Every structure is written in structure tokens, then in C-alpha cells.
């Protein structure tokens, strides 16, 4: 909502029906700071009215462009509606980010960055690390360090289990993990069957030995679970990293910059971060996805450029 306003537009923010008070809080800050009335407008509604209100907003002739951040499934619906009204779109959708940990990586750094990338905000970030592809030669050592990092940062019986947006999100993650375990995967850390103090809480889970036939291989978990894979060649790592409909962000851990850049060029995503976590978004850099992760760019001059129109005027004298 910031870039449309910064480019001179007024904006309507349709708040999430699952957490309307959060966006209300954000909007109230701008109001208290003195933003003129009518510049930033908030619409909230009951979940049952989501489809009707979304269609009404998109169809309104006063709406000139749509920016949607959310799931790829809903993004497809909004794209169809926008197409019917010839409205341009800016989309930031789902992700299935991979982190490649090579044999020459700084494993202490990789372990911490992968732990943060996978479990910050309970894994509810579109850039969250969902797959970790570890070189065969350092797999055992990395797993030990990774488990230690996750337990140190997010674990411990004395800490409350992280909170997810809803009980549905918790059950989705548990269902995906159950499917993987029932089909041959193993549990490296955590207990997906654990009952927490509320139905909306779930502790981090690390699953190893995930195969292509398992649901968790392709489905975006958007929660506190991550899958580990063993790889031996760059070709194998790239095949798994690119074997997804998503392409938002990725990470590569290596001390060889040439290898890092080589892998980064071949990963099909909007961003690749070498020796840092997949969750990386800053205002000075363009941010956006490829494939089913959306299109268009946020932030920097790219983000402002999305919210202005180019007009050509000539004058003959």
C-alpha cells in the first residue's frame, strides 16, 4: 500500500478476513501520523463475503490497478476477474523456497540462516525456506548443527509453541507431515502429533527423506515444517530446486562465489541470496516472483514504476 500512495495515488486496502485488526492497526498509524482522509482506505468483512466484495472492488471503474499478496489459488481467481475488466495486476503469491547447502559452506552460518528462514513467523512468510538441499558429504554434520540451531532459537519446553493464523493451518501442516511419514520419510526434529495449549499452535518440525510422490514435496506448507534432501551434484540440486510451480526466492550456501553465482543464475526464482536466508526483502531492492509466485516488482524504483502511467506527448513547431 505504501508504493501506490508514494507514487501519488489513493489506495483501498482490503484487510484479511482472518486477521482484520492487524491491518486496522497499520492503517490507524498512518491516520495518527496525519495522512489526509481518503488517501488510505480500509475495507474489512466477514469471511463469507470475501468473494463478493473482491469482485465488486475489482469491477469498480474507479479502481485502476490491483495489487494482491496471498495464495496462488486466490491469485488465479483475482487474475481472471481482473482480466475480465482489463485491469492491470501486481501479484506476490505462494512460494516453495529452497536453500542449497554445499559441501564448502560455513555450516554454522547455514544452520542458523536455514533455521530462521524456515521458522520465522511460524513459517508463515511467502519467502520461508521449505526445502533444504544438503550436499551428501556434509549432510550428517549439517543436520546436527541445524537441529541444534532450531532447538536453540525456537525450541525448548519452557517456550510457548509458535502461533499460526488458524487451526486450519496447523492441521494442514500436520496432514502433510503425516503423509510424508506414512510414505517413508523420517522425523529429524519435532513431533507433528503433539497437542499444544491451543489448536492454533505448532512447534517446528523437520522431515528428512522426502520423495517426489509425497504431498509435502509440492504443496506450500506455509507453516513450521521444512523438508531436507540429500544431493550430490549441482544438476541434482537445481532439478529439485526448480521442480515446483513456485519461484519467489531461494538461498545458496557456499564459500565459492563462482559456484554461488552459477547456481543462482539457474534457479528459477525472483531472488537468490548467497550465504543468507531465503527471507530477505529490503526497500532498496526489487522484490517479486517468477512462475506461479506472481509477477511485477515491489520496492525501489521498480515498485514506484508499477504505480505510474507513461504518457507520450509530442509537439510540432
Query: Strand pairing of 129-135 and 225-231?
Result: parallel
Q: Given this model, what pLDDT does residue 224 score? A: 97
Range with the poorest average pLDDT among 138-142, 193-197, 223-227, 296-300: 296-300
As given in the structure block, the three cell numbers for residue 260 are: 554461488
- Please provide the distance, in angstroms rounded to a whole number, between the alpha carbons at the two ends of the chain: 42
The string of pLDDT tens digits covering residues 7-60 is: 999 999 998 888 888 899 999 999 999 999 999 999 999 989 999 999 999 999
Orientation angle between helical segments 139-154 and 107-119, nearest 10 degrees: 50
The string of pLDDT tens digits covering residues 46-71 is: 989 999 999 999 999 999 999 999 99
Orientation angle between helical segments 234-242 and 257-266, nearest 10 degrees: 40
CA 252 to chain centroid, in Å, comes to: 17
Is residue 302 pLDDT above 90, yes or no? Answer: no
Is residue 251 pLDDT above 90, yes or no? Answer: yes
Give the DSSP letter of residue 201. B
As given in the structure block, the three cell numbers for residue 69 are: 499478496
Q: Which residues pair with 287 in a beta bridge?
A: 298
d(CA 101, CA 53): 44
The SS3 assignment for 112 reads helix
Give me the mean pLDDT over the 216-244 stretch.
98
Strands (DSSP E) contained in the chain are: 11-14, 40-43, 66-69, 89-92, 97-101, 129-135, 186-189, 205-208, 225-231, 249-253, 271-274, 294-295
Domains of the chain: 2-93+288-305 (3.40.605.10), 97-274 (3.40.309.10)
Q: Given this model, what pLDDT does residue 155 score? A: 87
As given in the structure block, the three cell numbers for residue 241 are: 530446486
- Burial code (b: 16+ CB inside 10 Å, e: under 16) for 200-237 equals bbbbbbbbbbbeeebebbebbbbbbbbbbbebeeeeeb
From residue 264, alpha-carbon distances to 95, 105, 134, 237, 278 in Å are: 17, 15, 16, 11, 12
Q: Given this model, what pLDDT does residue 156 score? A: 76
**Residues catalogued as catalytic:** 92, 126
Query: What's the chain's average pLDDT?
Result: 95
Q: Given this model, what pLDDT does residue 235 score? A: 98
Longest Cα–Cα distance in the chain: 79
As given in the structure block, the three cell numbers for residue 73 are: 489459488
Q: Give the torsion sign (CA, 176, 180, 182, 186).
A: negative
Q: Given this model, what pLDDT does residue 157 score? A: 72
Q: Is the separation of the CB atoms in 100 and 251 below 8 Å? A: yes
As given in the structure block, the three cell numbers for residue 305 are: 514504476
As given in the structure block, the three cell numbers for residue 253 are: 550456501
Amino acid at each position: 500500500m505504501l508504493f501506490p500512495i508514494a507514487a501519488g495515488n489513493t489506495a483501498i486496502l482490503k484487510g484479511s478476513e482472518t486477521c482484520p485488526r492487524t491491518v486496522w492497526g497499520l492503517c490507524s498509524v498512518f491516520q495518527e501520523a496525519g495522512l489526509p482522509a481518503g488517501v488510505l482506505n480500509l475495507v474489512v468483512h466477514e469471511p463469507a463475503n470475501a468473494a463478493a466484495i473482491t469482485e465488486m472492488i475489482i469491477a469498480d471503474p474507479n479502481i485502476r490497478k490491483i495489487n494482491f499478496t496471498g495464495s496462488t489459488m486466490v491469485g488465479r481467481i483475482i487474475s481472471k476477474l481482473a482480466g475480465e475488466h482489463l485491469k492491470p495486476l501486481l501479484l506476490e503469491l505462494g512460494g516453495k523456497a529452497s536453500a542449497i547447502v554445499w559441501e564448502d559452506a560455513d555450516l554454522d552460518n547455514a544452520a542458523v540462516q536455514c533455521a530462521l528462514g524456515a521458522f520465522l513467523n511460524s513459517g508463515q512468510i511467502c519467502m520461508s525456506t521449505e526445502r533444504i538441499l544438503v550436499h551428501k558429504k556434509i549432510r550428517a554434520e549439517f543436520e546436527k548443527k541445524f537441529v541444534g540451531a532450531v532447538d536453540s532459537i525456537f525450541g525448548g519446553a519452557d517456550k510457548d509453541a509458535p502461533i499460526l493464523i488458524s487451526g486450519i493451518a496447523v492441521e494442514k501442516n500436520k496432514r502433510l507431515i503425516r503423509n510424508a511419514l506414512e510414505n517413508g520419510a523420517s522425523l529429524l526434529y519435532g513431533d507433528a502429533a503433539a497437542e499444544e495449549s491451543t489448536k492454533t499452535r505448532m512447534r517446528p518440525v523437520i522431515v528428512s527423506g522426502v520423495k517426489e510422490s509425497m504431498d509435502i514435496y509440492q504443496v506450500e506448507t506455509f507453516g513450521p515444517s521444512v523438508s531436507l534432501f540429500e544431493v550430490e551434484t549441482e544438476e541434482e540440486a537445481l532439478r529439485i530446486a526448480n521442480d515446483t510451480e513456485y519461484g519467489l526466492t531461494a538461498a545458496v550456501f557456499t564459500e565459492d562465489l563462482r559456484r554461488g553465482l552459477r547456481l543462482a543464475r539457474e534457479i528459477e526464482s525472483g531472488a537468490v541470496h548467497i550465504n543468507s536466508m531465503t527471507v530477505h526483502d529490503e526497500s532498496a531492492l526489487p522484490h517479486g516472483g517468477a512462475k506461479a509466485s506472481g509477477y511485477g516488482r515491489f520496492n525501489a524504483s521498480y515498485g514506484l514504476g508499477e504505480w505510474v502511467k507513461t504518457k507520450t506527448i509530442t509537439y510540432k513547431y
